[in-house]
Amino acid sequence: MSKTENNLMEKIVSLCKRRGFVYPGSEIYGGLRGTWDYGPLGSELKFNIKQEWWKTVVKDREDVVGVSASIIMNPKVWEASGHTASFTDPLVECKICHQRFRADQEDVIKEHEKEHSKRKEKVAWTEAKKFNLLVEVKLGVVEGEKNTTYLRGEITPGVHVNFKNILNSSHLKIPFGVAQIGKAFRNEITPGNFTYRSIEFEQMELQYYVRPDKKESMKQYDYWKELRMDWYKNLGIKKSNLRFREHAKDELAHYAQAAWDIEYNTPFGWKECEGIHHRGDWDLSRHQKYSGEDMSYFDAETKEKFIPWVIETSGGVDRAMLFFLIDAYHEEDERVVLKLHPKLAPYKAAVFPLLANKPKLVEKARKIYQELKKDFEIAWDDRGNIGKRYFSQDEIGTPFCITVDFETLEDNAVTVRNRDTTKQERVKIDDLIRYFSDKLS
């Protein structure tokens, strides 16, 4: 990573902490590597990302429903899904300092070798061995008799084990999808790059069930691949910072027949943001085998019975948020501005009285604030001067600032300032809701 790029990440991490987007996990106890807490603005941004995903993938469609499954599941689920045997990363240990690394992360390995070489030491590595990423939990009230299970390593099995329940309690016909958003946990060997690789993170996933037909399944695969890429672009990520990358055969996860990643051009290289996987019949046939339950689909029209194939789109909420932040970060004319898409911005507008010591201005501004707050996320600020308030809102990505000045008391209009252009216009108070509804839609 070059110095400037390194610098950019440092600036983003610092902004995130200072303005309440992301804090290091358990910080007052010295932290816990690979864990992060989302502050007031980070929670809003994350919520907005999830809401936009849910809207595109579930609400706006007729063929997708949602579920919210348990994080902790019967350990047999993880045997069936192949995770106890195959959910592994290659681990190597430095024979000098005994630090452990992922053997396939060449940049991290090289960096470590460089550190030792500065002390005239030449690193020798242990043979790579398979390290299982599942995080174990012990359940039960009797010491010594506790059952071992796992925090889910991916949110996927919660959907597939409910395949029959969902079919029996809905009117879905193939092809159809089941969406879920939730936490997953991985014992990552080398968490890092801020929230990019954490041990606890959120996923937003779609499992789309299709007929077991090569041509039909590939049609759906291509469709979802494009649709997911467009979602990032439509929410403002620069096209030049996004690309597809196909997984090589030896890179494929144990469940995947084909996989393409949507990658983002981060300051630390092109990195995976979301995976689109052709899972074939892996999930349902394995759960059928291990549970003994019939997991097939019966087509009442054609009288065919079959195990559907699955096209999966699996994105990380934390990664998406990090990439939206990196992409939105701009420094211009002495200001730092987060040019977040208005749909994602934690606050849609901020309301200021021009002077905090003029009760009439404050009263009018409070009224506007209370009124707009019913429909939008709105910030209030009456500290310092207007210039500072603008800069403060720019830095957290608030698209509009509304100032109540002395003229407002005469003409019932306010000054609305646009974050990106810094242009200002007068808008009638009565028109504000319509104005923002138009701008934010």
Name 407's Cβ contacts closer than 8 Å, sequence gap at least 6: 413
Residues 6 or more apart in contact with residue 261 via CB below 8 angstroms = 244, 245, 247, 272, 273, 274, 275, 276
Establish if 415 lies at the interface with ligand GAP (CB under 6 A).
Answer: no
Can residue 188 be called a binding residue for ligand GAP (CB under 6 A)? yes
CA 438, chain centre distance (Å):
27
**264 close to 241: Cβ distance less than 8 angstroms:** yes
State the nearest-atom distance from the C-beta of 197 to ligand GAP, in Å: 4
Q: Give the shortest CB-296-to-ligand GAP separation in angstroms.
A: 22
- Which of 275, 308, 397, 399 is in the footprint of ligand GAP by CB under 6 A? 275
Which tokens go with 15? 């902004």
Residue 193 near ligand GAP by CB under 6 A:
no
Q: Does 266 bind ligand GAP (CB under 6 A)?
A: no
**Comparison of 286 and 319: residue with beta carbon closer to ligand GAP:** 319
# of chain residues touching ligand GAP (CB under 6 A): 19
What backbone phi and psi angles, to 5 degrees, belong to 410?
-90, -50
Binds ligand GAP by CB under 6 A, chosen from 53, 163, 194, 201: 201
Query: Residue 274 interacts with ligand GAP (CB under 6 A)?
Result: yes
Q: Considering only residues 19, 197, 211, 389, which one is a binding residue for ligand GAP as defined by CB under 6 A?
A: 197
Q: Which is nearer to ligand GAP, 116 or 247 (CB)?
A: 247
End-to-end, the C-alpha distance of the chain in Å comes to 38
Among residues 285, 299, 69, the alpha carbon closest in space to that of 167 is found at 299
Between 100 and 434, whose beta carbon lies closer to ligand GAP? 100
Q: Based on the shown chain and the rule CB under 6 A, indicate whether residue 154 belongs to the binding site for ligand GAP.
A: yes
Least CB distance to ligand GAP at residue 200 (A): 8
Instruction: Name which of residues 315 to 374 contact ligand GAP (CB under 6 A).
Output: 315-316, 318-319
* Of 316 and 397, CB closest to ligand GAP: 316
**Cα–Cα distance, 398 to 378 (Å, whole number):** 9
Residues that bind ligand GAP (CB under 6 A): 154, 156, 186, 188, 197-198, 201, 203, 205, 272-275, 312, 314-316, 318-319
